[in-house]
């Protein structure tokens, strides 16, 4: 099975290990990876600011690069949500676009829904706090939002808890936003950082040792707060845990 | 209505958050209600079907609104009510004033109505020598403080009991330093009882109006609407035209959703149905448009008219909970206010669609399934189209787009940033121009990007 790997721009530039961890996990499950070098950004920062004309060429670029792959996989719920839910404005009617939307997957849902992975091999003996990043959680329905009256499920949580030794911590607010929100993080600096600090307090009271999520952007924001305040929580993208990386303690 | 003023949510929010303790307490108080709502909703297994049904009923009603409005008018008139039509806020205020003057009414009691807040009815009546007393306890508190409500269901949610004690000591003569909620509520009760007994007219809002019966429903927890229209002989009910429902049986859907969504109660303490005037009394109904027909014709934002003003989107909004209702500087705050506000005045409210992290919780919690988060995003596109986005942000996005369009430029810019930033002294990175760095560290910049390392590892061969 061949997969076009989409590595979000900020992961490419700032968190290269997440790209490699994604490749390792996918290859372990028999997936053949291709990383097309022309890719950059899905255009979400511009789209979320309302700058549609600045987004359009990036959506077209993504479409041109990825439309012929059988699957596209990306270690970010937010970027996948951009493709699946917001590219219609730019690409509706183009040949293969509908298919592209439906064959572009966030990593965890690709593992559970396409590959049928039930458990991840390995050991991770820590108290893990799962941050349910909004665009993956509510947007892609990686889990059942707490607002909805329906049976609960959580694709990321299920994979995480299948690792030996993992103890998922119990949060007071299991799916509250961390306040990253892309440009929101700087436009609304006061609200954004307050939201992040409140999330971290919830993890602290729950005894989280390792804070993880399927979106590094939320974690980048919270990690910035952790380092500034010298908190003792360690941050890892969920795919790094799946790939067997360990925290430095 | 367009003003020349501009308001910036982020600035107001920062002021609110500067009081860290109050922010925490405000957030907790509203989250408590969100949690109560979850519990109440979970107790109704068909909750999601109810939401869908409510959404469909509202969409249907909006599609046939002119017919249902005329049906309502005919049936209400048949029941002895006088029905008035107000094109805008000004006309609404004039109609209400005229009715009051015709009856020689100078002392008015009013139960909670966001519509009269939207129309700024109180100052209009006061300018004409009429006393208006808001009789909902929270509303009375903010009225005595000379403030508008900060939440559409919980108007005084931003005020602490100590502050209420101080206010009541000053205005109602309660004991100095008293903070016992029971004592303070009792004092307010006595004060309001006096106002009720002497009132010459009662004004209410309307939660739902029913076309097939010509009746309407007012929901309160304090019974203040009922007292306010039972003692005086004159009742004026003000309603926005979007409050209409086709049939009485539709109430069985909406009444189940409203209070559960608003406060987590299965039903409000008082759900009062009005069909015509009380014996010997007069009932006037003022139907208000004030921009609603325009919104109804707006393909992008029509669904915002489905709103039943439950406030659930505010209670769940992580931004609202931490920035307070006043940070929106709009009659209706929170997610729905950030959609309706710019529809009234895009320039003044241009920052509201950005007062949102796009977490989507409002969309999931909305009992009538307004796609709130999606509409906020749509609004951002409109703000840009109307040239209302500050040029600095516009330019930043344009520049970023150019970088991302050209892979070589993207690679080069990344390389430069990763080379320079780690070498820069701290004061050059962390200063007032770096909003990210005010309370956060920037990520540790690695020496190589993923693609540089990937190419090293795999060679440059399989260029796609």
Q: What are the tens digits of pLDDT across the range B302-329?
A: 999 999 999 999 999 999 999 999 999 9
Q: What angle do CA A235, A238, A239 make, to 5 degrees?
A: 120
Domain residue limits at B241: 44-290
Whether residue A110 sits in one domain with residue A136: no
| Nearest alpha carbon to residue B237 among B186, B303, B267, B281 | B281
Residue with tokens 């249907």: B60
Return the residue of B nearest to A50 by Cα: B381
Tally A–B CB contacts below 8 A: 222
B113: distance to nearest CA of chain A, Å? 27
User: Is residue A133 in a domain?
Assistant: yes
Contact (Cβ atoms closer than 8 angstroms) between residue B378 and residue B406: no
> How high is the pLDDT of residue B1?
42
Residue B2 pLDDT class (50, 70, 90 cuts): very low
Q: pLDDT tens-digit profile of A90-109? A: 999 999 999 999 999 999 99
Q: pLDDT tens-digit profile of B240-287? A: 999 999 999 999 999 999 999 999 999 999 999 999 999 999 999 999
Report CA torsion sign: B246, B248, B253, B256. Answer: positive
What the block records as the tokens of B207 is 């939660």
Contacts of B438 in chain A (CB under 8 A): 189, 193
Whether residue A94 sits in one domain with residue A48: yes
Contact (Cβ atoms closer than 8 angstroms) between residue B250 and residue B210: yes
Contacts of A135 in chain B (CB under 8 A): 358, 360
Whether residue A141 sits in one domain with residue A88: no
Q: pLDDT tens-digit profile of B411-437? A: 999 999 999 999 999 999 999 999 999
A16: distance to nearest CA of chain B, Å? 4
| Nearest alpha carbon to residue B417 among A150, A12, A72 | A12
Whether residue A81 sits in one domain with residue A43: yes
Number of domains comprising chain B: 2
Residue with tokens 């189940």: B256
Residue B458 pLDDT class (50, 70, 90 cuts): confident
User: Is residue A73 in a domain?
Assistant: yes
Domain CATH code at residue A225: 3.40.50
Return the residue of A nearest to B34 by Cα: A147
ipTM: 0.97
Domain CATH code at residue B254: 3.40.50.10420
Residue A200 pLDDT class (50, 70, 90 cuts): very high
> How high is the pLDDT of residue A25?
98
Residue B461 pLDDT class (50, 70, 90 cuts): low
Q: Does B403 score more than 70 pLDDT?
A: yes
Q: pLDDT tens-digit profile of B160-186? A: 999 999 999 999 999 999 999 999 999
Return the residue of B nearest to A149 by Cα: B42
User: Is residue A121 in a domain?
Assistant: no
Which of B44, B328, B382, B401 is the best substitution to test chain A (most A C-beta atoms within 10 A)?
B401
Residue with tokens 């004039």: B94
Domain residue limits at A98: 2-114
Residue B232 pLDDT class (50, 70, 90 cuts): very high
> How high is the pLDDT of residue B463?
47
Whether residue B176 sits in one domain with residue B51: yes
Whether residue B263 sits in one domain with residue B126: yes
Whether residue A191 sits in one domain with residue A84: no
What's the per-residue H, E or C state across chain A? CEEEECCCHHHHHHCHHHHHHHHHHHHHCCCEEECCCCCCCCCHHHHHHCCHHHHHHHHHHHHHHHCCCCEEEECCHHHHHHHHHHCHHHHCCCCCHHHHHHHEEEHHHHHHHHCCCCCCCCECCCEEEEECCHHHHHHCCCECCCCCCCCCCEHHHHHHHCCECCEECCCCCCCCCCCCCCCHHHHCHHHHHHHHHHHHHHHHHHCCCEEEECCHHHHHHHHHHHHHCCCCCEEEEHHHHHCCCCCCC
Report CA torsion sign: B156, B162, B168, B174. Answer: positive
Q: Which of A7, A14, A61 sits opposite B443 (nearest CB)?
A: A14
Whether residue A108 sits in one domain with residue A12: yes
User: Is residue B202 in a domain?
Assistant: yes
> How high is the pLDDT of residue B311?
98
Whether residue A155 sits in one domain with residue A49: no
> How high is the pLDDT of residue B459?
77
Q: Cβ–Cβ of B47/A149 closer than 8 Å?
A: yes
Work out the mean pLDDT of chain B and round it to a whole number. 95
Q: Does B3 score more than 70 pLDDT?
A: no
> How high is the pLDDT of residue B460?
64
Q: How far apart are CA B165 and CA B169, in angstroms?
A: 6
Number of domains comprising chain A: 2
Mean pLDDT of B53-74: 98
Residue B464 pLDDT class (50, 70, 90 cuts): very low
Mean pLDDT of B112-117: 95
Return the residue of A nearest to B48 by Cα: A149
Which of B443, B446, B455, B459 is the best substitution to test chain A (most A C-beta atoms within 10 A)?
B443
For chain B, count helices (H), then strands (E): 22, 10
Residue B382 pLDDT class (50, 70, 90 cuts): very high
Return the residue of B nearest to A8 by Cα: B450
Q: Cβ–Cβ of B354/A11 closer than 8 Å?
A: no
Whether residue A103 sits in one domain with residue A151: no
> How high is the pLDDT of residue A76?
98
Q: Cβ–Cβ of A19/B454 closer than 8 Å?
A: yes
Q: Percentage of residues in chain B with pLDDT exceeding 70?
A: 98
Q: Percentage of residues in chain A with pLDDT exceeding 90?
A: 99
Q: Does B156 score more than 70 pLDDT?
A: yes
Q: pLDDT tens-digit profile of A119-159? A: 999 999 999 999 999 999 999 999 999 999 999 999 999 99
| Nearest alpha carbon to residue B153 among B237, B262, B307 | B262
Last residue of a domain, one of B250, B273, B290: B290
> How high is the pLDDT of residue A1?
82
Mean pLDDT of A10-19: 98
């Amino acid at each position: 099975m061949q997969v076009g790997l989409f590595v979000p721009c900020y992961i490419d530039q700032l968190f290269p290990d997440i790209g490699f961890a994604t490749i390792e996990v996918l290859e372990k499950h028999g997936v053949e990876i291709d990383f097309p070098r022309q890719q950059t950004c899905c255009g979400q920062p511009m789209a979320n600011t309302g700058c549609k004309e600045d987004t359009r060429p990036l959506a077209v670029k993504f479409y041109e690069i990825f439309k012929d792959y059988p699957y596209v996989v990306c270690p970010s719920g937010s970027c996948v949500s951009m493709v699946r839910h917001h590219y219609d404005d730019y690409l509706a009617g183009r040949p293969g676009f509908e298919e592209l939307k439906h064959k572009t997957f966030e990593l965890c849902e690709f593992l559970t829904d396409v590959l049928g992975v039930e458990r991840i091999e390995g050991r991770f003996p820590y108290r893990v706090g799962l941050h349910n990043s909004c665009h993956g959680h509510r947007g892609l329905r990686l889990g059942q939002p707490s607002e909805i009256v329906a049976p609960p499920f959580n694709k990321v949580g299920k994979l995480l808890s299948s690792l030996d030794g993992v103890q998922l911590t119990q949060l007071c607010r299991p799916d509250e936003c961390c306040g990253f929100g892309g440009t929101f993080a700087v436009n609304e600096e006061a609200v954004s950082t307050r939201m992040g600090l409140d999330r971290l307090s919830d993890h602290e009271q729950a005894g989280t040792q390792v804070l993880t999520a399927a979106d590094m952007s939320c974690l980048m924001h919270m990690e910035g707060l952790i380092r500034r305040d010298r908190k003792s929580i360690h941050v890892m993208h969920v795919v790094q845990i799946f790939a067997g990386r360990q925290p430095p303690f | 209505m367009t003003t020349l003023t501009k308001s910036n949510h982020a600035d107001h929010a920062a002021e609110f958050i500067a009081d860290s303790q109050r922010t925490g307490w405000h957030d907790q108080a509203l989250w408590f209600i969100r949690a109560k709502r979850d519990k109440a909703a979970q107790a109704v297994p068909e909750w999601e079907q109810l939401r869908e049904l409510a959404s469909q009923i509202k969409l249907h009603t909006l599609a046939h609104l002119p017919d249902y409005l005329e049906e309502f008018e005919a049936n209400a008139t048949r029941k002895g009510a006088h029905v008035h039509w107000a094109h805008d806020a000004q006309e609404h205020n004039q109609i209400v004033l005229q009715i009051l003057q015709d009856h020689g009414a100078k002392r008015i009691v009013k139960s909670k109505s966001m519509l009269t807040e939207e129309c700024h009815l109180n100052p209009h009546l006061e300018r004409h020598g009429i006393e208006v007393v808001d009789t909902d306890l929270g509303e009375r508190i903010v009225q005595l403080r000379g403030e508008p409500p900060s939440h559409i269901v919980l108007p005084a949610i931003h005020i602490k009991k100590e502050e209420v004690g101080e206010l009541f000591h000053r205005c109602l003569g309660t004991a100095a330093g008293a903070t016992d909620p029971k004592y303070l509520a009792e004092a307010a009760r006595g004060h309001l009882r006096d106002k009720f007994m002497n009132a010459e007219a009662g004004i209410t809002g309307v939660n739902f109006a029913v076309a097939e019966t010509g009746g309407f429903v007012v929901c309160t927890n304090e019974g203040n609407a009922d007292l306010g229209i039972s003692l005086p002989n004159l009742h004026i009910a003000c309603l926005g035209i979007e409050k209409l429902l086709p049939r009485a049986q539709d109430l069985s859907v909406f009444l189940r959703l409203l209070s559960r969504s608003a406060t987590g109660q299965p039903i409000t303490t008082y759900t009062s149905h009005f069909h015509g005037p009380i014996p010997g009394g007069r009932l006037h109904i003022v139907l208000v448009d004030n921009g609603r027909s325009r919104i109804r014709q707006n393909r992008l934002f029509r669904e915002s008219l489905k709103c039943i003003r439950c406030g659930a989107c505010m209670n769940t909004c992580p931004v609202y909970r931490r920035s307070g209702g006043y940070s929106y500087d709009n009659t209706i705050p929170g997610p729905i206010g950030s959609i309706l506000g710019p529809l009234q005045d895009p320039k003044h409210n241009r920052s509201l669609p950005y007062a949102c992290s796009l977490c989507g919780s409002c969309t999931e919690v909305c009992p009538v399934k307004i796609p709130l988060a999606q509409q906020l995003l749509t609004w951002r596109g409109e703000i840009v189209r109307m040239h209302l986005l500050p040029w600095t942000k516009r330019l930043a996005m344009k520049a970023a787009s150019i970088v991302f369009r050209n892979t070589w430029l993207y690679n080069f810019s990344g390389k430069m940033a990763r080379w320079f930033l780690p070498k820069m002294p701290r004061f050059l990175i962390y200063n007032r121009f770096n909003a990210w760095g005010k309370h956060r560290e920037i990520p540790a910049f690695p020496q190589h990007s993923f693609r540089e390392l990937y190419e090293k590892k795999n060679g440059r061969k399989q260029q796609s």
